Structure 1
C-alpha cells in the first residue's frame, strides 16, 4: 500500500468534487471457478484500490461528502474461517492502514446507506456487485452517478510519481518475461511452453499477469489466448503480455519475433514499417495533441509503406480518410494504462477516451480507437500499432471489391498466412513530451535477432 495520506487526499478530493451525499465503493467478493468453494484468484476492484488500497475480500468503503469522513465496512474472520484460510489483518487495522476514519461490521452497512438521501455509486461490471447493491438499496434504482464517474475518471487519469513508479516496477518483470520468451522460443516448441516460462517468472517474483497472455504464431488474431500451436521456423510469434506491480498497476508490452531467430526479408520489411508507425505516432505524444491525430499519423505511415510494397495505392491521406488502411490495421493506437490494463474501462470506454471535442467514429478500424482525447501531463498510455493479414477480412473486402482503388487484392492474397506484427510500449506524458517507461526491451530487428541468437 501507499502511505495513508495518499488515500486520505484522494478521498477528500473526491468528496469535495461531489459536494454532497454518500459515495459507496464496493470491494470485490470471491468468484467461484466451478463450484462455490473453489474460487478464482482474488483481484480487488481497481476503484476500491485507488481510494483505500485494501486488497482484501468482502469490504465496502463509504465517503460522506459533507464531512469528508470515510467508513470501512467488513467483518473479521471467524475461528472456523481462520482454520481454513489463516488469520488476516483485522478490519480495525485495515482502516488504520488506509487512514479511514471509522470502521463498522457489514451488518451496519445497509442501515447507514438507507439513511443517506443521496447515494453515489459507480457502474457495476459483475453480477454479484449488482445483486449486492440491490440488496443494500432495497431493490431501488441502482443507476450509477454520472458526476461520480466523471470525477473518478478525471482523478485517476493523472498518474502521480508513485503510480508511475509502480508501473515501472511491473515493467521490470515484464521486460524479463519478454527476454525469456525471445531467448527460449525455437522450432518445435509449443506456444504454451513459453507462456509457462513467462507466467512462472512473474509468479517467482511475486507478480501476476495484468491480463491473459497473448502468445501466438497466429498474430493476425488480435487477442488469441490459445497456446497449443507448434512453433516452426518461418513463423512469426506475437507476444503481448504484461505483469502487475505489487499494488496491481498494470504493464502492457508487445513484441513480435521470428521463431528461427532470423527475420526473412519480407518479415523484416513489414516489421520495420510497424516500427516506423510507432515512431511516427510517438512524435505526436505531447500535451494538447489529440491521440486520434497520433493514430491517424501511424495509419498514414502504414499506407505509405504498404504502397511501396505494392499492397496499396493512391493518395495516403485519401486512403486513410476512407479507412482503407483498416484492412491491415483494424484497431486503435492504444489506451490508458494504470490499475487496469485498459484503465477505467469499466467506467465507460467513451467516457474515458472521448469528450465533446473528440467524438468516436463509426468507421471500421477507427471505431476501435479506445482513446482519442487531447493528451495531458500525467497520462500513461500504450502505443501499439500493428499490421495484420487477416484472411477472413481480406476475403470479405475482396468479395465486396471494397476500396479497390487503394488496395491491390492480387498482391494482398500472397500474404495470407503471414500472420501479424504489433509493437507496443508504455509511455508517460510530461510537460515536455513523453518518456518510454520501464527497462529497454529489444525492439529493432537487429536487437531481436541478437538476443535470440545469443
Structure 2
C-alpha cells in the first residue's frame, strides 16, 4: 500500500505543478471544508469533504484542515485537531500517508491562515465559507479544468481503494438480498446492509435506495418503509460503500419468484448488462455505449412482447426512453458522480450529450484507468407510461402485460467497471461478489 500511495502522491504532485505553471500560480491551497449547520439550528449536516482534498489524503472526517502544494517541496498538511470535550476530535496523524507530508497541527481553525500566506500567487480551492483572514477561495477556472480532467484516470492506489469499496458493498448486497427473501421491510433491509458493511449512514457515499415492489420504479426512491408490505414481490437496491474516500456504486434487483414474465425480464436484463460491460474498451465513446443500451433494451421490449414494434422502431420513436429515462452510467471515484464527465479536454471544452438523451452523465471517450458504472434499467413508471398511452405508439403496447408487471416496478443492474489499456475491462463488482462465494 505504501508503494502505491507514494506513486499516487508523486503523480498528483507532478500534475499539480504542471497545472500551476500553466495557469500562472505559485502554489495551491485546498480546503477540506467546514461543518455546516441547518438553518436556525445547531444541528450539523453530514460533513462532505472537498474531493480535491481527499484526492491526496484518506481523511474524510476532518473539517477545517488545509493542504498546501508547492513546487519542489513536500505538501504541507495543516491538520485541525481541536481540544474538544463535546465531540471526539481527530486522532493524531498516523498511517501510511503521514511520511509523505509536512504536518502542522492547529487547535483553532483560524490558525491555518498563517501557514497558507506568503507563498506568492496562491490558487485556493474550496467553498466560500472556508475563507480565513487573507485566504479566500478563488477557484481558478483554468486550474480546476487542468486538475479535474485527468481525475478520471485512476492510479493503481485509487483502483485498490475502489476494489475494496466494491468488496465491502458486495457483503451488504448479499445481506440485503437475504433480508428481502426473509420478508423484511425496506428499513430492516437497509439496517441489514449497514450491519454487513460495517457502515453507518454517515459513512455511505450516497443515500441507499432500498425499494420493494412498485418502489423499484422510483429511480431515486428516498424513503424506507418501516412496515413490510403484505407481499414482497420484487426488490431493487442501489447502494455503495466508501473506503478512504473512494466510492463503489452497485445496484441489484431481486425477485421472490412466481412471476414468469418478470423473471424473464430479469434474465434478459442480466444478459444485456454483461454485454454492455464488455463494451467498456479503450477508445470507445461512452455515448455509443449509452445508445447501444437503448438498442439492447428495445430488443428486450420487442422480444418479450411488451412493445409490438421492431427494435429499430422502438428506438427511433423514443419508446425505449419511456422504459429507461436515465443514462447508462457515469464516472466513479472520489465522488459517486465524479466530476469531469462532460469534458472534451483539459481546457474545459464540453463534449455534448446525444440529442434526446439529456440525463446522460458521461460523454467522454474511454481510456485506460477510467472507472465507470454500467447500469441499464427497465422500469414501469406510471407517469411516463401515461405519456406513452397518449402517444401515437400506444396501440403497439401490450397494456395487459404492462399492468401485470407494474406491481414489480422495474429492474436495474449496475456494476463498477475499470477500463484497461487493452482487452476486456475489469468488472470490480462481479469480482467482489465472486470473492464472497
TM normalised by structure 1 equals 0.80
Q: 1:369 aligns with which of 339, 350, 360?
A: 360
Unaligned runs of 5+ in 1: 444-450
Is 1:419 paired with 2:409? yes
Q: Matches of 1:95 and 1:136 in 2, distance apart? A: 33
Partner of 1:237: 235
How far off is 1:311 after superposition? 2.5
Q: Which residues in structure 2 correspond to 1:163-242 (within 5 Å)?
A: 163-186=158-181, 188-203=183-198, 208-217=203-212, 218-228=215-225, 230-233=228-231, 235-242=233-240
Q: Matches of 2:200 and 2:49 in 1, distance apart? A: 20
The answer to whether the 8 Å contact 2:342/2:351 transfers is no
Deviations 1:46-73 (A, max 9, x none): 22011233442211222235x5563333
Q: Which residues in structure 2 correspond to 1:345-356 (within 5 Å)?
A: 349-351=341-343
Q: Matches of 2:65 and 2:230 in 1, distance apart? A: 49
Q: 1:298 aligns with which of 290, 293, 305?
A: 293
Is 1:387 paired with 2:378? yes
The answer to whether the 8 Å contact 1:52/1:98 transfers is no
The answer to whether the 8 Å contact 1:241/1:252 transfers is yes
The answer to whether the 8 Å contact 1:188/1:232 transfers is no
The answer to whether the 8 Å contact 2:74/2:100 transfers is no
Partner of 1:447: none
How far off is 1:205 after superposition? 10
Partner of 1:155: 150
Q: How many residues align?
A: 422
TM normalised by structure 2 equals 0.83
Q: 1:264 aligns with which of 259, 264, 268?
A: 259
Q: Matches of 1:353 and 1:237 in 2, distance apart? A: 40
Partner of 1:23: 28
Deviations 1:70-101 (A, max 9, x none): 333354423xx2x344564457x799816234
**Structure 1 residues 87 and 318 mapped into 2: Cα distance closer, same or farther (>3 Å)?**
closer
Partner of 2:424: 433
**Structure 1 residues 69 and 161 mapped into 2: Cα distance closer, same or farther (>3 Å)?**
closer
Secondary structure (helix, strand or coil) at the match of 1:427 reads strand
Is 1:250 paired with 2:255? no
Q: 1:45 aligns with which of 47, 50, 73?
A: 50
Secondary structure (helix, strand or coil) at the match of 2:16 reads helix
**Structure 1 residues 162 and 111 mapped into 2: Cα distance closer, same or farther (>3 Å)?**
closer
**Structure 1 residues 293 and 95 mapped into 2: Cα distance closer, same or farther (>3 Å)?**
closer
How far off is 1:356 after superposition? 5.9
Secondary structure (helix, strand or coil) at the match of 2:280 reads coil
Is 1:359 paired with 2:352? yes
How far off is 1:304 after superposition? 1.2
How far off is 1:112 after superposition? 7.1
Deviations 1:114-152 (A, max 9, x none): 766644344x5xxxx3233386556xxx66322222222
Partner of 1:12: 14
Secondary structure (helix, strand or coil) at the match of 1:29 reads coil
Q: Matches of 2:199 and 2:80 in 1, distance apart? A: 31
Secondary structure (helix, strand or coil) at the match of 2:364 reads coil
